[in-house]
Amino acid sequence: METENDVIIRCDNLVKIYKTDETEVMALQGLDCVVRRGELMAIIGNSGSGKSTFLNMLGGLDRPTAGRLYVDGLDLFRLSDTELVKYKRDVVGFVWQNNARNLIPYLPAWQNVQVPMLFSNSESAKKQRAMELLELVGLSHKRFSRLEEMSGGEQQRVAIAIALANNPKLLLADEPTGSVDPQTAAYIFDTFKRLNETLGITIVIVTHDLSVAEKVNRVVSIRDGKISSERVLKTDYAGKMADIVTLDTSGQAHFTRHEEFAILDRNGRVQIPPEYLQEMGVEGNRVRLSMRDGEVIISPPEEKAEEKPEE
């Protein structure tokens, strides 16, 4: 039975509105989400869906407009600015897509890893910790290298080491494989997976890379500021062995290693993918609902009557 101690992230009806002088954009529209401790999960969605906004909320980089957001038992809605700084230093680690944002270019790798530890520990302890983390991500041989002396994949693994410097309980990664080739992307993901298994750290990855998303235990899809569906790794051995990721003619990935579930919000609403509505021939915002053998049937508002044979 799941308890609150098993949960590291809990979002209830999370809303984020960005306002300018002329416009108002609702980036999150009542998002609900629960993440368990030790999970390795991916968040996917189209540009503008709200996934990066959600990640910024979790990282303490932006505040919600309404709703509730708890991370490791802390109410991020109520934290003071001072408490929020402590939260970002001690509870969460962040890996950005842009390597230049992760690293200080004129410092060698081991000194970059030391930066988050600036006001803690002795110099010898900080250096030892930095070396241990570089070893953990497989880059001890690059400890004296600067930004321009490392490949994109190596820079990103140093960024992961930096994010781990203060032993966070939650690691967030925003498109960590977005600027590298597929082989390097696979190696970066393997690093995340190894850290999740060896350290037990919770890792949430926002990604467009469907090959990476396919490998995690849970994939959350965000559409129009809400979680629209979840894909959960199948538990049966035969399913794991037989399933592969396939692409249809449009290039859309099918997560055959996962079972997909639509998500009901607190008001019993569910999002229907646009491609489903298009295939059904639905136009406008009305559909028919009916029950048949314990299943909910969704159909166009006016189905064509069957033609009767002439007598």
- CB count, 10 Å around CB of 174? 21
- Among 268, 277, 275, 273, which residue's Cα sits nearest to residue 300? 277
More confident residue, 283 or 78: 78
In angstroms, the CA 259 to CA 290 distance is 24
pLDDT of res. 310: 57
Per-residue pLDDT band at 256 (split at 50, 70, 90)? low
Q: What is the pLDDT of residue 309?
A: 56
Q: Which residues contact 240 (CB under 8 A, 6 or more apart)?
A: 233, 234, 257
CA distances to 2, 5, 76 from 38, rounded to whole Å, are 13, 12, 20
Give pLDDT, residue 204: 95
Domains within the chain, CATH numbers bracketed: 4-279 (3.40.50.300), 280-305 (no CATH)
Longest CA–CA span in the chain (Å) reads: 96
β-bridge mates for residue 262, sequence order: 229
CA distances from 55 to 85, 191, 204 (A): 17, 20, 8
pLDDT at 238 over 70: no
Q: For 270-301, write each residue's pLDDT tens digit.
A: 777 777 778 888 887 788 888 888 888 888 88
Query: Does position 141 have pLDDT exceeding 90, yes or no?
Result: yes
Question: pTM of the full predicted structure?
Answer: 0.80
Bridge-based pairing of strands 74-75 and 66-71 is: antiparallel
Closest CA to 39 of 178, 225, 210, 219: 219
pLDDT of residue 284: 77
Taking residues 47-69, what's their average pLDDT? 90
Type of residue numbered 295 = E
pLDDT, residue 76, reads 92
Q: Which range among 21-30, 72-81, 125-134 shows the weakest confidence by mean pLDDT?
A: 21-30
pLDDT 10s digits, 151-203: 988 999 999 999 999 899 999 999 888 878 888 888 888 899 999 999 999 99
Q: Where does 200-246 have alpha helices with state H?
A: 210-213, 237-242
Q: How far apart (Å, rounded) are the C-alpha atoms in residues 175 and 107?
A: 24
Through-space distance between the first and last CA atoms of the chain, rounded to whole angstroms? 64
> Which two structure tokens, joined as six digits, stand for 9?
């992230």
Give the residue with greater pLDDT, 215 vs 116.
116
User: pLDDT digits over 197-215, tens only?
Assistant: 999 999 999 988 777 767 7
Q: Is the pLDDT of residue 240 over 80?
A: no
Neighbours of 35 (CB within 10 A): 20
